[in-house]
């Protein structure tokens, strides 16, 4: 997928976003530190966190402990809903940078759209664009936006500015309306919860394909996401799983096998808090 990215003129070339990243949702303190350091040791270079996860300091400590040059890493965080006002937005981003021990982010997302007009989308997307223009982040995007909300965001910021829409995607929830709309507007889809809390890893179709390819069910799901053109950010606290996930890059599914997995779609959403938008 070709991406157009807005950056300030004095920045170094953009680091490409690895399509397979390391998620940190639900990881705290030492567990977050250990998981991120382990992932980096195994070769992961894309780390995804968020203000609301409460682990940015631990993630930053792990990145620092790894000794990996900053320019080799791709770091994403997300602005939480309470920080979307003009008064709090940039301050919260600077706090995130401090915790993550970096001068810039590779990607900054609006974590959830608001269901009210206070603050308005114009206000918080203007703040998002402002921190991009100041060089605090190299790319900007959104998360959990419906098609109508994404269309509104594109109208505010212009085509080519929003890099990704991070939404739930796995074999039980392909989210076709949203992913198709993103493709039409050259917005990369980053799928979270790729294993649906492990449910899809027990699916007979996935297990059978894993046997055919001498792979793990997780590797089959990751190969499927990659071949559909989606980035994804699974998390793991086990070194063998991290190593196995990274090795999924060598697996290539046949078109018929991809279609088999597509047929598993059942609109099964596992991330649906009470403040979520009305999904497409």
Asked whether residue 49 is assigned to any structural domain, the reply reads yes
Residue 255: asked if its preceding bond is cis (omega within 30°), the reply is no
Distance between CA atoms of residues 249 and 222, nearest Å? 8
**H helix or E strand, kind and range, residue 94:** helix 89-100
Catalytic residue among 53, 124, 163, 192: 53
Asked whether residue 80 is assigned to any structural domain, the reply reads yes
Burial class of 230 by CB neighbour count within 10 A (0 to 12, 13 to 18, 19+): buried
Asked whether residue 279 is assigned to any structural domain, the reply reads no
Identify whether 53 is a catalytic site residue: yes
Asked whether residue 192 is assigned to any structural domain, the reply reads yes
- Which pLDDT does position 15 carry in this prediction? 86
- Which pLDDT does position 12 carry in this prediction? 61
Q: Which of 182, 220, 199, 217 is nearest to 270 (CA)?
A: 199
CATH number of the domain encompassing residue 85: 3.20.20.100
* 58-62, 114-118, 222-226, 257-261: least confidently modelled range: 114-118
* Residue-wise pLDDT tens digits, 71-114: 999 999 999 999 999 999 999 999 999 999 999 999 999 999 99
**Reported pTM:** 0.94
Asked whether residue 214 is assigned to any structural domain, the reply reads yes
Range 254-275 average pLDDT = 96
Number of domains in the chain: 1
Residue 11, pLDDT above cutoff 80: no
3-state secondary structure 152-197: HHHHHHCCCCEEEEEEECECCECCHHHHHHHHHCCCEEEEECCCHH
Asked whether residue 237 is assigned to any structural domain, the reply reads yes
Asked whether residue 71 is assigned to any structural domain, the reply reads yes
Asked whether residue 200 is assigned to any structural domain, the reply reads yes
Domain range enclosing 192: 22-262
């Amino acid at each position: 997928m070709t991406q157009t990215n807005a950056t300030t003129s004095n920045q170094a070339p953009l680091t490409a976003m690895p399509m397979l990243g390391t998620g940190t949702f639900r990881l705290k303190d030492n567990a977050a530190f250990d998981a991120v350091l382990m992932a980096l040791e195994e070769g992961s270079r894309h780390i995804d966190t968020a203000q609301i996860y409460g682990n940015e300091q631990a993630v930053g400590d792990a990145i620092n402990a790894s000794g990996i040059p900053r320019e080799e890493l791709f770091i994403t965080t997300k602005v939480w809903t309470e920080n979307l006002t003009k008064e709090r937005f940039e301050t919260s981003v600077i706090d995130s940078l401090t915790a993550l021990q970096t001068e810039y982010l590779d990607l900054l997302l609006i974590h959830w759209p608001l269901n009210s007009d206070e603050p308005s989308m114009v206000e918080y997307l203007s703040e998002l664009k402002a921190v991009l223009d100041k060089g605090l982040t190299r790319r900007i995007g959104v998360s959990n936006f419906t098609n109508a909300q994404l269309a509104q965001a594109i109208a505010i910021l212009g085509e080519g500015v929003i890099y990704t829409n991070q939404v739930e995607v796995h074999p039980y929830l392909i989210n076709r309306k949203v992913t198709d709309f993103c493709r039409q507007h050259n917005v990369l889809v980053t799928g979270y919860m790729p294993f649906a809390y492990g449910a899809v890893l027990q699916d007979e179709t996935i297990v059978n394909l894993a046997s055919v390819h001498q792979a793990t069910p997780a590797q089959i799901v990751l190969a499927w996401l990659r071949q559909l053109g989606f980035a994804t950010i699974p998390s793991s606290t086990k070194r063998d799983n991290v190593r196995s996930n990274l090795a999924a890059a060598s697996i290539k599914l046949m078109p018929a096998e991809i279609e088999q997995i597509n047929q598993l779609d059942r609109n099964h959403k596992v991330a649906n808090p009470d403040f979520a938008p009305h999904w497409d």
